[in-house]
Structure 1
């Protein structure tokens, strides 16, 4: 069984999530609940849970404040929030799970399945540490890492080492400066949103490039970007060609 603590300042939300877990996720055992960050910290230190179902926005100390207060957290986290924009960019960047209120049962089941794999593999600490570093920054950092969860393991990759990304249906392949390729089961638009502050450009419906690795643009057809390291040609859509040239100052 996977031991869990539910943390939410609204008792009715705790009761609702606890009932959903009992009904649909038998592998989760709720060992405690808390309505504040301080109360939750005491429970975490006492019960040492495998996972927290953590509300982000709470009066006083929020969910992120709670995580900052714990040295070397040895648990996984599912963030539960009614606010899609509040801190979710950092959560996505670290490949951590979150649920939006009201909770969808299918999403809950899917999330618990991923948590079970993560708990068994004990791979959550690096992702949590990545999240906390992100939250403490006020602007993009060229040394920032992004979590890339593949079927076998989750890689923490420096953003500057990503040359380009290519989509295929709901999958995205990352091409790195060292020649490695990672296939991620998430659509490209999610990474477009995450990586645009770091100088990435959506040059085509299926392609996202790191402009730091663009060496030139070919004018044949609608245009192609030439990437260093791989020396590969990445297509540019006709609609984006002029704006891409302006962004790259080519």
Structure 2
């Protein structure tokens, strides 16, 4: 069994989530619930749960403050929030799980399945540490890392080392400057949203490119981006050509 603590300032929300877990996720054993950060911290230290379902917006200290107050957290976290924007970008960047209220049962069961795998492999801590650094803005663009969860392992990769991303159905392959690659079971549009603030250009439906590795545009067909380290030709969609040129200042 996977042990859990639920943290939400509304008692009814804790009760509803506990009922959903009991009904649909029988591998989860809820040890306790809490309505504020101080109470939750005591329970986490005493009960040592495998996972904490944590509301971001709790009175006084919020969910992120709670995590920062715990020395070397060794549990998984599923963020539960009614706000689609508050902290979600940092959570996605760190490949951590979150649920939006009202909780969708399908999303809940999928999340618990991932938690089961994570608890078995104990690969959460590096991602959680990455999240806390993002929230504290301790990483600049040169040192920023993104979590890439593959089937076997989660890699924390410096954003500057990513040359390009290429989609295939609902999968995305990351190509790194050292020649390695990682296949991730998420669609490209999710990484387009995350990486565009770091100079990545969506030149094609299937391609996202780090503009620091672009040397020129080849004027063949609709056009191609030429990458510096391999002289690769990455296609530009005809409808995106003007936007791409503008972003690259070419």
Query: Normalising TM by the smaller chain, what interval?
Result: over 0.9
Take 1:212 and 1:132, find their aligned partners in 2: how far apart are those partners? 27
Equivalence for 2:45: 45
Unaligned runs of 5+ in 1: none
Equivalence for 1:225: 225
Take 1:235 and 1:53, find their aligned partners in 2: how far apart are those partners? 43
Give the superposition deviation at 1:213: 0.7
Equivalence for 2:59: 59
Take 1:119 and 1:241, find their aligned partners in 2: how far apart are those partners? 45
Q: CA RMSD in A?
A: 1.1
Q: Is the 8 A contact 2:133 2:139 kept in 1?
A: no
Q: Is the 8 A contact 1:3 1:50 kept in 2?
A: yes
Secondary structure of the corresponding residue to residue 95 of structure 2: coil
Q: Is the 8 A contact 1:145 1:157 kept in 2?
A: yes
Q: Bigger CA drift: 137-146 or 221-230? A: 137-146
Q: How many residues are treated as equivalent by the alignment? A: 250
Equivalence for 2:208: 208
Q: Is the 8 A contact 1:140 1:198 kept in 2?
A: no
Q: TM (normalized to structure 1)?
A: 0.98
Q: Is the 8 A contact 1:54 1:77 kept in 2?
A: yes
Give the superposition deviation at 1:138: 8.3
Equivalence for 1:103: 103
Q: Is the 8 A contact 1:140 1:197 kept in 2?
A: no
Deviations 1:171-203 (A, max 9, x none): 111000011111111111110110011000111
Equivalence for 1:27: 27
Deviations 1:43-80 (A, max 9, x none): 01101111000000111111000001011000000000
Q: Is the 8 A contact 2:2 2:50 kept in 1?
A: yes
Unaligned runs of 5+ in 2: none
Matched, 1:169 2:182: no
